[in-house]
Amino acid sequence: MEFHIISSARDKYAFDEQLFAFDGNFVFVNFQAVRNFTQKLNDLRENPDDPSSYIQPAQINALGLLDEISHIIFKRYYEKHGKDLQTALFDTLEIELGSQRLKKTLLSYGELFPTLEVYRGKIATIDYYRDETKGTPNAYLILEELILTWLLNQNPAAKPYQELFTDHFLIKNTDYSQLISLVTEFFKEQPPFGADNLDLITFLRQPAILFPNSLNDQLEYISKHWTEFIGERLSKLLSAIDHIAEESKAFFIHVPFRDEYAPTYLPDYSASFWADQKRAGDLENTENYSPDSDWMPKVVMIAKNSFVWLSQLSKQYQRNIQYLSDIPNETLDELAEWGFTALWLIGLWERSNASQTIKQLCGNPDAVASAYSLDRYDIAQALGGYNAYKNLADRCAQRGIRLASDMVPNHMGIDSDWVHDHPDWFIHLEHPPFPVYSFDGPELSSDPKVSIKLEDHYYSRTDAAVVFKHYDHRNGQTRYIYHGNDGTSMPWNDTAQLNYLNPEVREAVIQTILHVARQFPIIRFDAAMTLTKKHFQRLWFPQPGTGGDIPSRAEHAMSKEDFDKAMPEEFWREVVDRVATEVPDTLLLAEAFWLMEGYFVRSLGMHRVYNSAFMNMLRNEENAKYRQLIKSTLTFDPEILKRYVNFMNNPDEKTAVEQFGKGDKYFGICTLLATMPGLPMFGHGQIEGYSEKYGMEYYRPYWDEKPDQGFVDAHRHNIFPILHRRRLFAEVANFRLYDFKINNDEIDENVFAYSNALGNSAALVIYNNHFGNAAGWIKTSAPYLVKHGNDNELHTENLAQALRLPDYQNGFLVMRDQVSRKTYLRPMSEVHEKGLFFSLNAYERMVLSDFYVLYGEQYAQLHDYLQGHGVDNLDATLEDLRLQPFLRKLDTLLHNLSNIAHAQSSNDKNALLEHAIDNWKELNKATRSLDGFQVFESNNAFEDLILYLDTLRGLLDDDASKEKPACTQELLNLINETPFAANYLLSYGFISRLCGTVVDPNCAKQTLSLLSKEQVRTRIYEHFRTIGLPIDKIHEYFVNCRWLIAKAHSMSSENLSDSKSFFERLFNNTDFRLALMINEYEGIEWFNQEAFETMLWHLNLIPRIELLSQYQDDDTLINELSIIDELVLQFKNAEKASSYRIDKFLDTLP
């Protein structure tokens, strides 16, 4: 996508000219280009410390997309109503505005937003203006760009980025504004556009008018309403952008268009397919699985490019981490904590020196040799050699992590020991395959006995160069050895192709595999499919008439019969059997494609095989195709599914974030990765969100990337807990796939629904891999094969059976979603009769587990109350349901108390207070109806409340004619010092009496029990906020309320007179300790000064008001108040002497 950028911004940010198209538009070839562009903007921010000024790549991406879409709409409009409207528009402007004024305005725009050639000074703006492009006058093109620039400037959501395309100069110095007015008027007179029959300009402005503050919302509107105009391709991209925007994260990862990838194919397990294979003598339909060791199904593997990883770790730990033995334990602990049980170290072996030389000669001075161009199978000295490997292997084993290594059986490095010592082990010729080949380039051999040279055209990139020249100085023999090649692209020009028709080669390779197996419990065989008989013959010794995959090999054709004589057995079957015998307990993993996956595990006996369809089909959202792959495998042989290696990227592919983004789609497919049968494999940098694809010759990363901590944390929350339960998902015996039915006849193929079980534990996974909502039912599984000796049967299973649920229909099913952490409730009768219903948003996923059944009428009520929604805590929600009558009354009371706080007149306040008193009565009745609450109706509680309220009103009465006693005036002064005090004290009077009089310890206990409930507490917190309490003080005042309620009955003059004893009793109260913010350090308890002052404020005020409301005898009242005065004074003096230590505070009290 692209859009115009003003020349002043191009100068300011020094954008690379190569990023601009000929017409002057900035071209975003991929999302990384957007990031690089945005970084230039952020580097020059006026206030880089202000996070609000940070420009998000996603927003720039959206701007470019809006501009591109607007161009398309113009094109569609002219296609529909005629290209002559473009000319009519220009002619109208010339007439209404005047030719010269129009020209001046367009030229001014052309100067501000120049084409590439104009910007470089190679052509004058006027010359470009007079020219045309593909038959369209450039003046028309400039006019359209001007209109789109105006649209961007009119878009409120684009305002933060306006310096890139500002039209201020045009407004001030040209007839731009009048031109825009004329354009608007012109299109009002022309045919309308779109379903709502709007004029073109209004149509284009509609997204910004409807959603002025969000570019993402504008794109979402476009994706829903403009699809018929912008086409499926852009609609797909919009959907991906919207998906990322929903997460409210600053990520816009480019999900490539489907046509950027090779087509995908389904394996064919039909009887006719096997019959064809048998006739051709290629593949046999035989079952010969290798059994798993106990640990194998639990393997979760992560790949690391060894040299790149060490470089990244060095940067992370700020020290040189050069060898495998230097890898910190903290890193290994983290991998184990994340749930990984296998670590694939790419590039461990000693590599070809010639490969490194070739990479450096071709322009990468930092390059090491390719990890797949090997000299010999010894741990590289550059990584610390065998001892460093052994150190790492032992430390990994302590953490339950097994090491995995590559084995590259197809070829060796171009100057490997085998090439020097056994050149006849490689496919070679005695003469060059093509007369034009020449070998005059640099010497690549490090052994003086042998000369090795690449074909010259390789360096100039003018030929595929299928062979290199090998000259033996000892005997003068010249060989032209073929490079390794899989027939799909360029040969691997730093390798030499082994000849597997030579039995000596096969045995040498097997011995090497056994050598590797004795060090590594997991071996990954690179490009394993090339060594099957079918494909090795096709590539190197094709049957007559079938050549062409590798240039020059057709002339070396062999009949099937001759080939079978030379290679009688499948090489991989021999490898599997030899390893099982000589190095048992080794997991053999094949990188195999070309629809050979099932054959590799079922017939050749590999424990695991790459499943590239997982990545490709799910990325492309070929959901029906991938579901069909699962279905056909389940009916042919489910065991194949268990042996798949599923991945979202591998070292040869684009990174996971480039393919899948960082939002819901990524985590949805990553959830499938973690929960499908088979072996989940994560790529290097996948967890950290890295975008760089590391070449096999990389010694270090070239991009300065830091882990995306938010992305890592999202894995920690959503993925890692599932990986730790891998055993539940790994096997296939109880794996069931379901159709997601919209109705009886229609299936939503975009939804993946499957369950698995181990013992009595089960899990159900639901994922909608589509930008669109989905709603439907799952009940009966797809057919799956059950083996009974030679008799195989297809079975289905209903959901209740698959989830290990009881047969009877009463009760309610409880299930917990591991993604949202919410719990759901469904009637068992519905589960048995209809299955489970789900409503999913775009790319939404659920992982349901912890199934059990509850019984009781209360759960029926709870189910009706939830209406299918999930809850954080089932017991708390049940309690919430039980409290609903009380909570409704409490809400009414608190609402009226809040209104009192904001009422303007005394009459209004008094009227609202009367309502509040009535509310309290109703609340008291509701409290008595609660289970477990014994609140007895009594006039004492009501009288107690009225006395408190009358006392408070008397204190607050601002009638100057009424003289107030000294003690009352002192209270009033305390109240007036705190703005919210009056409203707070009023609320306290009601809250403290929720269950009756405050001086009754039983009532107080019941009140505190209610206040401890989250539903009540959160309402009171919100009420305190509405009456003016600062947010950071709400909890502090709440706990002060609680301890006052708890101790109100014990505040007799006798108790208060002994300040030390009274404080010790208070200190045993949890809420009182919270009120003082007690913390312990080195065995000493400390209190917070400000919290202590707040506590004293409460102690000074509320007990006094309670006393004023209770005592009519002035002498008794004065005595009681004086005791409180003395208590407060002693507390204050103790505070001053305590240094905020509780022990010193107590020692100071008399």
* Chain segment 869-898, per-residue pLDDT in tens: 999 999 888 888 888 888 999 999 999 999
Range 625-636 average pLDDT: 94
What is the model's pLDDT at position 775? 96
Least confident interval from 298-302, 546-550, 640-644, 893-897: 546-550
What is the model's pLDDT at position 878? 87
Range 957-983 average pLDDT: 75
Range 791-814 average pLDDT: 93
Measure the CA–CA gap between 256 and 240, rounded to whole angstroms.
Answer: 10
Residue 876 Cα distances to 928, 1014, 1016, angstroms: 20, 8, 12
What is the model's pLDDT at position 959? 59
Q: Any alpha helices (H) in 731-841, and if so which ranges?
A: 799-802, 828-833
What is the model's pLDDT at position 846? 96
Q: How many CB atoms lie within 10 A of CB 864?
A: 10
Range 971-991 average pLDDT: 89
Say if residue 242's pLDDT is above 70.
no
What is the model's pLDDT at position 26? 53
Q: Which sign, positive or negative, has the C-alpha torsion 727, 730, 734, 740?
A: positive
Identify the CA nearest to 1016 among candidates 912, 894, 858.
894
What is the model's pLDDT at position 516? 97
Q: Per residue in 1042-1075, pLDDT tens?
A: 999 998 888 877 788 888 898 999 999 999 999 9
What is the model's pLDDT at position 249? 28
Say if residue 951's pLDDT is above 90.
no
pLDDT band at 255 (very low <50, low <70, confident <90, very high): very low
Measure the CA–CA gap between 752 and 737, rounded to whole angstroms.
Answer: 8
Domain layout of the chain by residue ranges: 2-41+54-254, 411-497, 734-867, 955-1148
What is the model's pLDDT at position 1041? 94
731, amino acid identity: E
State the maximum Cα–Cα separation within the chain, in Å, rounded to a whole number.
127
What is the model's pLDDT at position 147? 94
Least confident interval from 116-125, 315-324, 829-838: 116-125
pLDDT band at 965 (very low <50, low <70, confident <90, very high): low
Least confident interval from 4-18, 733-747, 761-775, 1100-1114: 4-18
What is the model's pLDDT at position 543? 84
Range 36-62 average pLDDT: 73
pLDDT band at 719 (very low <50, low <70, confident <90, very high): very high
What is the model's pLDDT at position 332? 97
| 3 state DSSP class of 236 | helix
Q: The whole model's pTM is what?
A: 0.68
What is the model's pLDDT at position 876? 84
DSSP for 120-178 reads TTSS-HHHHHHSEETTEEHHHHHHHHHHHHHHHHH-GGGGGGGGGT--HHHHHHSSHHH
Say if residue 667's pLDDT is above 80.
yes
Are the beta carbons of 976 and 846 closer than 8 angstroms? no
Residue of higher predicted confidence among 803 and 1000: 803
Range 449-454 average pLDDT: 94
Which CATH topology does 734-867 take? Immunoglobulin-like (2.60.40)
